[in-house]
Amino acid sequence: MKYCPHEYQAYTSRFIVSNPVAAVFLDMGLGKTVSTLSAINDLCFDYFDTRRILIIAPLRVARDTWPAEIKKWDHLKNLTYAVAVGNENERLSALRQKTDLCIINRENVQWLVEESGVPFDFDMIVIDELSSFKSWQAKRFRSLLKVRPFVKRIVGLTGTPSSNGLMDLWAEFRILDLGKRLGRYITHYRTEYFLPDKRNGQVVFSYKPKPGAEDAIYEKIGDITISMKATDHLQMPERVHNEITVRLSEKERKTYDAMKNDLVISLQGEEIDANNAAALANKLSQMANGAIYGEDRRVYEIHDKKLDALEDLIEAANGKSLLIAYWFKHDLERISGRLHKLHIPFALLDDSESIRRWNAGELPIALIHPASAGHGLNLQTGGSTLVWFGLTWSLELYQQTIGRLWRQGQTAGTVVIHHIICEKTIDARIMAALRTKEKTQTALIEAVKANLEV
C-alpha cells in the first residue's frame, strides 16, 4: 500500500530523525508505528545513521502489529526484520539473523541482555509503550539501563506517559536520556519535585507534586518530547460514555458490607478474609463483579446483577458486535457461561486468529483482558461498542483498551463505552480515581503538545 502520511505523521518521523533521544506521546490511532518505521527507514537507507534496531513491545504487538505494518506499506519494503518471541530456540534464531530490525516482547528484555549470550549489537532502540518501563525497580528496567549507554539512538512511544501521576516519568526518562533531564536518582527527583502525601509515621505511601513542579518537569523534558491528541488531527467519531448501574439485594449488600467493614465473610462454611488494604480492594472488586475467590481459588458466586445487565446490553445491541472487557478469571468464566446459555457465539481475543475473526465481522461478541490486549491492537473494524464488565485501577490500561475501538479507521459515527457499575461499591471509587489520574496526564500532554507549524 502506498504511504501518504498525514502532516502530523511526517512531523513525527522528522522529529525522530532529528532527535537521537525522542519521547513521542501519540494518542491511540495516530499511527505511531508507521511514523516510527518511516523514520527508521530514512535513518537506515537515506542517512546511513543506524545499522541495527531493537524494537521492544508488548507480546501481541511485537508478534502481530509491527510485522503487519512493515509488510503493509510499500516504502518499507527494503526493511528486513526478525521477531524474537516464542521459546528460547525461536528467540535465539531470530536474534542471530542479520536483519535491520529485531522485534522482541518486553518480558524477554532481561533474558536478551543477561541470559541469551547474544552480543548486544543494536545502535538504536525503540520502546513501544514506554510506560511499561515506568518502574525503576523492575528487572526489565535495570537490564535495559545496563546497555543503554552503548546505544546512540532511542525512541520511547506511548499514548499514556503518566497514567499514575508524574512520578512515573522519572524511570521513563532515565532510560531515554540517562538522567540528563530528571536526574539520575529517583530520590533526588522526589526531593526536588514532590512532597510526602499519605504516610504512616516515617513510612510514606504516596507523594504529591510541589507547587509549580508540573510546569518545571514539562519544561525539563520539552526539548525531546512531542505529544499529539487524536482529536487535534483526526476526524474522530463521537465517543459516548454510559454508566449502567446495578443494585445489590439486601442479602448481597450485607455480604459486601461485611467484607468491607470486617475484612472477613463466611460463604458456604468457608471464611474468606482480606489481610491488608490492597487485598481488601481486590476482594471488593471481585464482589462488585459478582463472585469471589476462596483460599483454594474456589469461586463463590455472590450475585448475577452484572451478568443480567450484560445480557440486556447484548439484547439491545440487536446483533451489533460488542467487545467486553473483563478483569478477573472468574469474570471470564461466568460471562462465558452466560453466553453459552444464550447460544451466542463468542471468542476470547488471545491470538492472531481470534483477532482476525473479530476484525472480519465474524464474531458478535469478543472478550478482552486489558492487561494482555490493551496495547497496540487494531480492533476498530470489528465493532464500535465496548462494555466494561469489570473495571481497572490503571488509567493506562483503561485508555489503551478504549483506544482499540476509538481510533483512526473506525467507520462508525459513534463509539459507545458502557460501564457496568455496581451501586455503592468500590466501582464508584475506581471510576473517580480514573478521572483524577486523567487530569494529570492530560496536563502533561498539553504541555508538550507538538506544534506542527514550527
**pLDDT tens digits, 157-207:** 987 777 678 888 999 999 999 999 999 999 999 999 999 887 777 787 788
Residue 436 lies inside a defined structural domain of this protein: no
Q: Print the SS3 string covering 16-62.
A: HHHCCEEEEEECCCCCHHHHHHHHHHHHHHCCCCCCCEEEEECHHHH
Q: What's 169's domain CATH number?
A: 3.40.50.10810
- Which one-letter amino acid corresponds to residue 441? Q
Q: What is the pLDDT of residue 451?
A: 60
Rounded to two decimals, the pTM is 0.66
Percent of the chain with pLDDT over 90: 58
Query: What confidence category does residue 376 fall into, taking pLDDT thresholds of 50, 70 and 90?
Result: low
* pLDDT reported for residue 31: 81
Confidence (pLDDT) at 317: 80
Q: How confident is the model at residue 245 (pLDDT cuts 50, 70, 90)?
A: confident
Q: Is 33 left (phi over 0), alpha (psi -120 to 50) or beta?
A: alpha
Residue 433 resides in a domain: no
Mean pLDDT (the chain) is 88
**Cβ–Cβ under 8 Å, residues 400 and 159:** yes
- Give the CATH number, domain containing residue 388: 3.40.50.300
* Residue 359 belongs to domain spanning: 235-247+304-423
The percentage of residues in the chain with a pLDDT greater than 70, rounded to a whole number, is 93
How would residue 267 be classed by pLDDT, with cut points 50, 70 and 90? confident
| Structural domain contains residue 435 | no
Please tell me whether residues 270 and 157 are part of one structural domain: no
Tell me: do 129 and 33 sit in the same domain: yes
pLDDT digit string, tens, across residues 425-434 = 999 889 888 8
Asked whether residue 429 is domain-assigned, the answer is no
Domain tally for the chain?
A: 3
What confidence tens digit (pLDDT) does each residue in 1-30 have?
899 898 889 999 999 999 999 999 987 667
With 70 as the cut, is the pLDDT of residue 68 above it? yes
- Output the CA angle 71-74-80, nearest 5 degrees: 50
End-to-end CA distance of the chain: 30
Instruction: Mean pLDDT check: name the lowest of 24-38, 92-106, 222-236, 436-450.
Output: 436-450
In this predicted structure, the answer to whether residue 413 has a pLDDT above a threshold of 70 is yes
Lowest mean pLDDT among 76-80, 355-359, 443-447: 443-447
Q: Say if residue 267 is in the same domain as residue 318.
A: no
User: Is the domain of 336 the same as that of 352?
Assistant: yes
The predicted structure's pLDDT at residue 454: 38
